[in-house]
Amino acid sequence: MFADDTELYRDIQTPNDIDIVQQDIDKLFRWSEKWLLRFHPDKCKVLPISTKKTKNQDGRYKMPTYDGAETTLETVECEKDVGVNIDSKLKAYTNVQTQVNKANQLVGLIRRSFKYTHTISSHFYEL
């Protein structure tokens, strides 16, 4: 079993807060070992959320692995969470664009399913 959908949040105001996040990651790892719920380190990501321009945070956080080594957590600009795209600036554009693309694909599928699209249009207008 895996510890899917586990999230960790902390407001970073000082350099000490960064160390606290790393300690929290280590605690989560120990918790996962105790309860036999594993994290897949390659699927664990860091998403810094800020309206300010942030420094590159790649390599800042590390996660232990179950073979005794450790892996560096990847920093991302956007991550999908419970079906919603969350970006580092909390802008809705990415999520809206994804939904628009899905809707356009569905419309295209419906159009290709019918030989005469003008009959589809007339049926919809009759409703």
Say if residue 38's pLDDT is above 60: yes
| 41 part of a folded domain | yes
Which residues have a Cβ under 8 Å from the Cβ of 11 and sit 6 or more positions away? 17
Residue 126: predicted pLDDT:
64
Residues 70 and 96 in one domain: no
Number of domains in the chain: 2
Confirm whether 85 is domain-assigned.
Answer: no
Shortest CA distance to 55 belongs to which of 94, 88, 79, 16? 88
Q: What is the pLDDT of residues 86-110, one digit of tens each?
A: 888 888 777 788 889 999 999 888 8
Name the residue with tokens 């207008």.
Answer: 125
DSSP class of residue 73 equals: P
Domain that holds residue 62: 1-80
111 and 71 inside one domain:
no
Say if residue 3 is in the same domain as residue 31: yes
Same domain, 14 and 67: yes
Is 14 part of any domain?
A: yes
Residue environment code for 42-77, b if the CB has 16+ CB neighbours within 10 A, otherwise e = eebebbeeeeeeeeeeeeebebbeeeeeeeebebee
| 70 belongs to a structural domain | yes
- Cα–Cα distance measured from residue 79 to residue 87, given in angstroms and rounded to the nearest whole number: 6
Residue 81 confidence class, pLDDT cut points 50, 70, 90:
confident
Q: Do 125 and 63 sit in the same domain of this protein?
A: no
pTM: 0.69
Same domain, 33 and 69: yes
* Residue, of 121 and 41, whose pLDDT is higher: 41
Residues 63 and 41 occupy one common structural domain: yes
